[in-house]
Amino acid sequence: DAKTTQPPSMDCAEGRAANLPCNHSTISGNEYVYWYRQIHSQGPQYIIHGLKNNETNEMASLIITEDRKSSTLILPHATLRDTAVYYCIVRLGASGTYKYIFGTGTRLKVLA
Amino acid sequence: SAVISQKPSRDICQRGTSLTIQCQVDSQVTMMFWYRQQPGQSLTLIATANQGSEATYESGFVIDKFPISRPNLTFSTLTVSNLSPEDSSIYLCSVVSVLDTQYFGPGTRLTVL
């Protein structure tokens, strides 16, 4: 099973871009990368996902390397409300039998 | 996105008792999961709740301890049986939408005395 590796913690200044790395060197060709965040032990919140190409939505951008062994989540202008634990996940299995296995996550602290 | 509710939101239980957690979704979904999050830890997948058949459990989790029901496409229950203090955790249900995105409920915080 593919696993993810993330730094345990990071700090970012408010208003700056937060770049959160994730290593998934054992990922298979059809396995997607998902990012979630969790604030104060609430249910994790979906952020973005991708397979090969870079993706962008209203919350963040996802940059996936060409070999797909790593990715970076970018929060373009971090605010204090972005302080959370960010999880990089590889989705395993085929349609109807998916499993989403969480890694240990990165605790991001946005500093005023 | 799917709207997911869980009951109860929190509970305090005595050792040896059981707690049943309900998960309700506002639309029909094919896949539902149950996770456990121990204090200060990441989420661990307990099982996939299968509609109309037995749940599929992950390594380290057994049906006798964590019986799961899923009578239809919008509802599931997780029971944590024979409680011990080590079961004190947040229990979360999640669903997969038609766009293959997973959404989570708010969680149930269980404290076992």
Q: Which residues of chain B have pLDDT under 50?
A: none
- Residue A2 has a pLDDT of 55
pLDDT tens across B71-94, in order?
Answer: 999 999 999 999 999 999 999 999
User: Do residues B31 and B74 lie in contact, with contact meaning Cβ atoms separated by under 8 Å?
Assistant: no
Å between B31 CA and nearest CA of chain A? 7
The answer to whether B100 contacts A95, with C-beta atoms less than 8 Å apart, is: yes
- The end-to-end CA distance of chain B, in Å, is 36
Question: Tens-digit pLDDT profile for chain A (112 aa)?
Answer: 558 999 999 999 999 999 999 999 988 888 999 999 999 879 999 999 999 989 999 999 999 999 999 999 999 999 999 999 999 999 988 877 888 889 899 999 999 9
Reduce the DSSP state of residue B93 to 3 states and report it: strand
* Cα A9 from Cα A105, distance rounded (Å): 8
Q: Which residues of A touch B97 (CB under 8 A)?
A: none
Q: Looking at CA atoms only, how far is residue A81 from chain B in angstroms?
A: 18
Scanning every residue of chain B, which has its alpha carbon at the shortest distance from the alpha carbon of A85? Answer: B42
pLDDT at res. B103: 93
Rounded to an integer, what distance in angstroms lies between the CA atom of residue A70 and that of residue A18? 16
* Amino acid of residue A29: G
Handedness of CA A12, A17, A23, A28 (dihedral sign): positive
CA-nearest of B8, B7, B17, B43 to B113 is B17
pLDDT value of residue B50 = 87
Q: Rounded to an integer, what distance in angstroms lies between the CA atom of residue B18 and that of residue B9?
A: 16
CA angle A78, A80, A85 (to 5 degrees): 80
Query: Measured between CB atoms, does B96 come within 8 Å of chain A?
Result: yes
Residue to mutate among A85, A100, A106, with most B CBs inside 10 A, is A100
Task: Specify the pLDDT at position A1.
Answer: 56
Select the residue of A32, A43, A105 nearest B106 (Cβ to Cβ): A43
